[in-house]
């Protein structure tokens, strides 16, 4: 019998660790993390960028919404459409509404939504990640279904998938499933780390 923790057990433990980081300590780490992103070519080269609003202790990237207005970039937030995601443009003036999970998303008509394949950079919240670019999300599979088109497209330059987390969410190895879409890179308070392996299909 395996003694390795299940994805469910890992998810519970890592979410608790993530929520435990608070106050000025969290603010300092988020400030460092954003600095690494803003200096990196992934941010500088991108024009259409998806991010997210924080939930359950996720890293807060909302400061980017104000900054992007002066950099000729369009930012997007995920919007639930059935069991997958599309992406809605967001500015500091965008009206938001709560989705079925209580997470704010832009209140825009479907005609203004964009598919993931039409983005340059997607900043994804993580519950956990490992040294090979495997990731652990919340378990709903929304990103995996929305990014399924990327399986096997080893030379596809966009969108770049960058997971966002604190270093305390790093693990030596994570179990992965065939439908998991691996990361191009992960962004933490220490650095933006690229994963060459993420562009090879899992065996």
Alpha carbon distance 64, 77 (integer Å): 12
Report the C-alpha dihedral over residues 181, 187, 188, 192, rounded to 10 degrees. 130
Give the burial class of 83: count Cβ atoms within 10 A of its Cβ; 0-12 exposed, 13-18 middle, 19 or more buried.
exposed
What pLDDT is attached to residue 4? 67
What pLDDT is attached to residue 156? 62
Could you confirm whether domain 7-195 is CATH 3.40.50.10420? Answer: yes
Cross-strand bridge partners of residue 75: 49, 90
Q: Where are the domains of the chain?
A: 7-195
Question: Which one-letter DSSP state was computed for residue 114?
Answer: B
What pLDDT is attached to residue 155? 53
Q: What is the mean pLDDT of each run of 10 residues along the chain (203 residues)?
A: 70 91 96 97 96 95 90 95 94 94 93 95 94 83 88 69 96 80 92 72 36
8 A C-beta contact, residue 180 and residue 203:
no
CA-wise closest residue to 87 among 63, 106, 104: 106
Between strands 192-194 and 121-125, the pairing is: unpaired
Q: How far is CA 8 from CA 62, 111, 117, 118, 139, in A?
A: 28, 37, 29, 32, 8
Q: How far is CA 22 from CA 18, 19, 187, in A?
A: 9, 7, 19
């Amino acid at each position: 019998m395996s003694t390795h923790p299940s994805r469910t057990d890992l998810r519970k433990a890592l979410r608790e660790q993530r929520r435990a980081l608070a106050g000025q300590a969290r603010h300092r780490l988020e400030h460092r993390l954003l600095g690494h992103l803003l200096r990196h070519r992934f941010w500088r080269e991108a024009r259409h960028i998806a991010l997210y609003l924080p939930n359950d202790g996720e890293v807060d990237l909302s400061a980017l919404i104000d900054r992007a207005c002066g950099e000729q970039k369009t930012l997007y937030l995920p919007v639930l459409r059935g069991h997958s995601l599309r992406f809605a443009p967001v500015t500091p003036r965008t009206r938001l509404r709560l989705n079925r999970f209580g997470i704010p998303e832009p209140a825009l008509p479907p005609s203004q939504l964009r598919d993931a394949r039409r983005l340059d950079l997607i900043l994804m919240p993580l519950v956990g990640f490992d040294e090979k670019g495997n990731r652990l999300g919340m378990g709903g599979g929304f990103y995996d279904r929305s990014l399924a088109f990327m399986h096997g497209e080893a030379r596809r330059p966009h969108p770049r998938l960058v997971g966002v987390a604190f270093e305390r969410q790093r693990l030596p190895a994570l179990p992965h499933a065939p439908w998991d879409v691996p990361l191009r890179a992960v962004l933490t308070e220490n650095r933006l780390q690229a994963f060459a392996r993420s562009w090879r299909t899992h065996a």
